[in-house]
Amino acid sequence: MFVRVAGVEDVRAGRGVRVYARGIAIGLYRVGERYYAMEDDCPHAGFPLSEGELSGTVITCAAHGFDYDVTSGFKPGYEDGFPIPCFPVRVEDAGIFVDVVLPDDDD
C-alpha distances in Å from residue 56, one per residue of 5, 34, 62, 69, 103: 22, 12, 16, 9, 32
CB 34 to ligand FES: min, Å:
24
Counting contacts by CB under 6 A, is residue 38 touching ligand FES? no
By CB under 6 A, name the one of 12, 34, 64, 90 that touches ligand FES.
Answer: 64
Collapse the DSSP code of 16 into the 3-class scheme (helix H, G, I; strand E, B; otherwise coil) and give the result.
coil
By CB under 6 A, name the one of 12, 14, 20, 45 that touches ligand FES.
Answer: 45
Residue whose C-alpha is closest to residue 91's, from 9, 14, 21: 9
Q: Is the Cβ–Cβ distance between 74 and 83 less than 8 Å?
A: yes
Residue whose C-alpha is closest to residue 39's, from 16, 64, 9: 16
Counting contacts by CB under 6 A, is residue 2 touching ligand FES? no
Q: Report the alpha-carbon distance of residue 107 to residue 93 in Å, rounded.
A: 27
Counting contacts by CB under 6 A, is residue 44 touching ligand FES? yes
Counting contacts by CB under 6 A, is residue 34 touching ligand FES? no
Counting contacts by CB under 6 A, is residue 82 touching ligand FES? no
Of residues 14 and 46, the one with the C-beta less far from ligand FES = 46
Q: Which residues bind ligand FES (CB under 6 A)?
A: 42, 44-45, 47, 61, 63-66
